[in-house]
Amino acid sequence: MDYSTLENRLSVLASELESEYLKRTQKSKELFEKSKKLTPGGVTYSIRYFRPHPIYVSRAEGTRVWDVDGNEYVDYWMGHGTHILGHAPKFVLDAVVEAMKSGTHLGYENPYAVEYSELLTKVVPGLDMVRFANSGTEANMYTLRLARAFTKRKYVIKVEGGWHGGYDALHTSVSPPFTGPESAGLPEEYLRYTLSAPYNDTEAVEELLKKYPVAAIIVEPVLGAGGCIAPVGNYLKDLRELTYRYGSLLIFDEVITGFRLAPGGGQEYFGVRADLVVMGKIVGGGFPGAGAFGGRAEIMELLDHLKIHDPRSRAFHGGTFVGNPISMVAGYSLVKYLAENKSLYEAANNMWEEFRRSVDKVCEEYGRICWSTGTGTMTGIHFTKLRPRNTREVYELRWSKQVEYVYHLYSRLSGVLYISEKLIHLLPSLIHSRKEVELFTDVFGRFLARLFKT
């Protein structure tokens, strides 16, 4: 079937599904109508918006979430990839409730932060020292500043499609055309020292390294929001080698990959050591305020006020809530469990590898209109003409303007939930069952069958 016929069919299918969705999600619709008057776009974060209205989730447990209309969904998004052991694991909740009895935010140095720092330095490769932050965005901001302070250079190379949060210097080259500010209100001048290269392209990186004094290359070991795309060949090792050669630092943004691909994240999984590592999401044990960064001692010592007395010669880091006991205890409990139960990773990574093969098989049956990508549990599905190797290809090789949306709607109606309706990238937990993995494949196959039905 040709692409234009498929596009027509998708339009018909969309209107059929939309009327079914309206029937099933009346209360969500009401909340959306109310919310639109209270907050821009009716949502707390635009990526959580679904057409024609988002679902409003009121409860979560394990791998499931329930919306206000009582619909149950298997969640393949898990709090933006935070809940690696499912929503609200009891042992983490118990530990936090116990700690909270002694205060929620102490505002002073506390033993929990010391213990958690020690644990992180044991679990994350090359982490001589660590500091905590309130989000992945914040952790990236401080890390980049530290890299610039250490190298005394200004330029940073990021990857096209790489998402590091909304911090000015890294808020560019996320989506097509991969140039200029990604937001209104962000002056071009703030991006003067930010360069970008396609993922999986070391030649482009070397060209930039030759031309500019680069403080650091920042990269997600596996591209996350850019489509869950795996490094090809020796990409990460080559970046490591190039940074050594040109005197730049290598920063791994492990906000998604950290504690996900392996307890020690992408560094452990791929056997490549970064100079600095950025953590978020899972590091907070499922609680808000999740962020940390760390790495080689000689770099981290630039934050040390005992060694460097002049504040202007140090790199600044801080924040009211950093190192609060809730984040520390939750993160500690979760990461300790992960480090002690490594076998979970092998099983989950293999299962999702198998999942990607099943998706590819289904795609082959339907004339190769789609492809899977990813590593470990991180999985992308792309309705493209070829398997994309970077985010530029994710967009350039697309054959439809609406298939991602229509599939998302179909999934929602089939009890399958993820973000986003623009780009399918799944961040499931390590406790998703084989049945839940098969449910996704099954729903995916049924969608294509319905689309191709004559």
Ligand X SMILES: Cc1ncc(COP(=O)(O)O)c(C=O)c1O
Binder among 29, 80, 240, 432 for ligand X (CB under 6 A): 80
Q: For ligand X, which residue of 258, 280, 285, 376 counts as binding (CB under 6 A)? A: 280
Q: Which residue has the tokens 């962000």?
A: 186
The count of chain residues that interact with ligand X, using the rule CB under 6 A, is 15
Q: Give dist(CA 185, CA 162) in Å, integer.
A: 20
Asked if residue 231 has a cis previous peptide bond (ω within 30° of 0), the answer is no
Output the six-digit token pair for 227.
Answer: 């489509």
Give me the least distance between CB of 58 and ligand X, in Å please: 22
CB hemisphere CA count around 174 (13 angstroms) = 17
Applying CB under 6 A, does 161 fall inside the site for ligand X?
no
Does 296 sit near ligand X (CB under 6 A)? Answer: no
- Here's the x/- map for ligand X, 231-260, by CB under 6 A: it reads as ----------------------x-xx----
Stretch of 18-26, 50-58, 163-171, 396-404 contacting ligand X, by CB under 6 A: 163-171
Q: Is 210 helix (H, G, I), strand (E, B) or coil?
A: helix
**Would you say 133 or 409 has its CB closer to ligand X?**
133
135 binds ligand X (CB under 6 A): yes
Whether the Cβ atoms of residue 229 and residue 356 lie closer than 8 Å to each other: no
CB of 431 to ligand X, least distance (A): 21
For ligand X, the binding residue among 137, 200, 243, 327 (CB under 6 A) is 137
Confirm or reject binding of residue 155 to ligand X (CB under 6 A). Answer: no
Least distance between ligand X and beta carbon 135 (Å): 3
* The token pair that represents 359 in the structure block: 């998706």
Q: Which one of 165, 231, 266, 323 is in contact with ligand X (CB under 6 A)?
A: 165
* SS3 state of residue 258: strand
Which 3 state secondary structure label does DSSP give 283? helix
Q: Among 86, 136, 380, 428, which residue sits at the site for ligand X (rule: CB under 6 A)?
A: 136
| From 133-141, 264-272, 323-331, 358-366, span contacting ligand X (CB under 6 A) | 133-141
Question: What's the distance, CA 161 to chain centroid?
Answer: 12
Site for ligand X contains 78 (CB under 6 A): no
Smallest distance, ligand X to C-beta of residue 412, A:
21
224 near ligand X, rule: CB under 6 A = yes
The tokens describing 252, both together, are: 């791994």
Here the tokens at position 155 are 């330029």
> Counting contacts by CB under 6 A, is residue 42 touching ligand X?
no
Q: Can residue 163 be called a binding residue for ligand X (CB under 6 A)?
A: yes
Cβ-Cβ contacts under 8 Å for 444 (sequence gap 6 or more): 359, 362, 381, 407
Which CB, 146 or 363, lies closer to ligand X? Answer: 146
**How many Cα atoms are found within 13 Å in the side-chain-facing hemisphere of 442?**
9
275 binds ligand X per the rule CB under 6 A: no
Q: Which is nearer to ligand X, 277 or 348 (CB)?
A: 277
Pick the piece of the chain touching ligand X (CB under 6 A) from 48-56, 143-151, 158-166, 442-450.
158-166
What's the min distance (Å) between Cβ of 47 and ligand X? 9
In this complex, which beta carbon is closest to ligand X, that of residue 287 or of residue 440?
A: 287
- The answer for residues whose C-beta is within 8 angstroms of residue 372's C-beta and 6 or more apart is 355, 356, 357, 359, 360, 363, 379, 380, 381, 382
Structure tokens at 425: 């990238």
Of 142-150, 160-168, 374-382, 429-437, the segment contacting ligand X by CB under 6 A is: 160-168
Q: Are 78 and 37 in contact (CB under 8 A)?
A: no
Check residue 170 for interaction with ligand X (CB under 6 A). no
Coil, helix or strand for 173? coil
DSSP labels, 406-427: HHHHHHHHTTEE-S-SSSEEE-
Q: Rule CB under 6 A: say whether 325 interacts with ligand X.
A: no
Query: If you count them, how many residues does the chain have?
Result: 454
Query: Which residue has its beta carbon closest to ligand X?
Result: 136
57 or 448: CB nearest ligand X: 57
Cis before 52 (ω within 30):
yes
Residue 431 CA to chain centroid, in angstroms?
Answer: 18
Report which of 67, 48, 52 is spatially closest to residue 22, judged by C-alpha positions.
52
Q: Candidates 225, 262, 274, 370: give the one binding ligand X (CB under 6 A).
A: 225
The binding site for ligand X (CB under 6 A) comprises 80, 135-137, 140, 163-165, 220, 224-225, 253, 255-256, 280
